[in-house]
A and B are shown apart, each in its own frame.
Chain A
């Protein structure tokens, strides 16, 4: 059984205020894939991610992680195998020190303290912020907070990494560092973003959401270079794929 596979079947979800956020979403993401989920504001990206980790449960349809359906009973297994990095790192960092924050997950799984310490060190080292371990999280810069937020998830050794707008509010250098870091991960990755260039660089496959439905699903280059589709979904062709504004030459 592989926990790395994520299967979403006819997923529908309506918020209590009557808004239909997801209206029949289907896809299958297999082991090691890196998938970008793009769409306009309100297209249902964040709602979809929340279904993958069992924060929300579908009104109709189902989500399977590996062969395990996401239900209240299976949550401990699901959440160990799917790690979610939230859009705002401040929501994820609430302990007095970076160390305690990264240790929060492993400690909840009752791991021995030696193992917890080992995992915290490994996770912080992977994202390159081991030197920050004794600092209080609220004193870190945006890029550092994001790195620590990723470390908090890595310390749980998930098979699948789910990220909600990882490059939002990062300066160009921090953004670049994050992209390089994520390129080095062998996890199955599911990334929602409005940063089309990041999706282009990181993900070999892209799913486009529009009004709670999958509007397109295919190889990133093919999907993101489809100008008509992008405009129809209130998106834009990545700058990398657009013609040079000075000489007019096209990169592709």
Chain B
């Protein structure tokens, strides 16, 4: 039960982080959404054996985390949540693909391991970029940016309401589990035979609650348009932020900086 309640606080924590007033938070949401988009495209465009090329991409999340004062451990925990999925996808690579790729004096690394690691790094980086976007911008401002990008209103509304609905759902789950566990002291979980009725209850209760929330929105003049307030214009610094990062990402994409630095070091060493 505490896990459920805890996860609710976790969802809301991202919202709270989005309300900070750091340099990164003050960048226009549109610039941040586009920067994240470019970052995601560049990250996933790397080939599956181009592990070294991915390393300079780490600078983006590191710099954003530092400037936006985002707690590192909090972010790390959230990224860990998606890692089982990535591991699940890539876990057979090292077994199925055992051709030697990197031969060092003491170890031979197969191409399967390299592709698995690059998949893992890509997964972590993309998840991190998405989380950083939410925690430096906030959901409502992301919606504002999407609207400026001419995304149809109905999709934005779906996006915002789904996000809000998650907390309604989790709250109800918390209540049901609490009521259940208080009257079944010797059980560790929920008995299989009760799953059906509890899920049914959950559906009905959340629908009821969502209906009441919707009523209260309608009572305050909600007509399907989610107004997120003052639309701040795009300033020079926002263009600079988007341009700067985009150029950096493209340079990383076309030049393997890790290799260049490596050969430079070796050259100096010689």
Contact = CB atoms under 8 A, between A and B. Distances in A.
Given A96-B138, A136-B16, A109 B215 contact: no
A55 B218 contact: yes
Contacts of A104: 217, 220, 222, 227
Given A97-B19, A104-B220, A108-B221, A55 B215 contact: yes
Interface stretch (A8-16, A87-95, A166-174, A206-214): A87-95
B15 interface: yes
A156 B230 contact: no
A123 to B, nearest CB: 12
A136 B227 CA distance: 18
Given A88-B212, A113-B230, A96 B15 contact: yes
Interface of chain A, helix or strand or loop or mixed?
helix
B112 interface: no
A134 B219 contact: no
Contacts of A51: none
B229 interface: yes
Contact of A79 (B18, B213, B218, B228): B218
B147 interface: no
A88 B205 CA distance: 14
Interface residues of A, number: 33
B223 interface: yes
B164 interface: yes
Contact of A94 (B18, B138, B164, B228): B164
Contact of A116 (B15, B216, B229): B229
Nearest to A76: B221
A118 to B, nearest CB: 13
A33 B17 CA distance: 45
Contacts of A75: 218
Contacts of A113: 229-230
B169 to A, nearest CB: 13
A119 to B, nearest CB: 12
A92 B225 contact: no
Contact of B222 (A84, A97, A108, A136): A108
B229 A108 contact: no
Given A113-B229, A113-B230, A138-B12, A156 B220 contact: yes
B143 to A, nearest CB: 12
Interface of A: 50, 53, 55, 75-76, 79-80, 83-84, 86, 88, 91-92, 94-97, 100, 103-105, 107-110, 113, 116, 134, 136, 138, 152-153, 156
23 contacts: A53-B219, A55-B218, A76-B221, A79-B221, A80-B221, A84-B219, A86-B212, A86-B216, A91-B212, A92-B213, A94-B213, A96-B18, A96-B139, A100-B140, A103-B229, A104-B227, A107-B228, A107-B229, A108-B220, A108-B223, A109-B221, A136-B16, A152-B220
- What 4 A-B pairs have minimum CB-CB distances, sorted nearest first? A105-B220, A108-B221, A107-B227, A91-B212
Given A76-B221, A86-B212, 14 more contacts: A55-B219, A75-B218, A83-B219, A91-B209, A91-B215, A91-B216, A94-B164, A94-B216, A94-B217, A105-B220, A108-B220, A108-B222, A109-B221, A138-B12
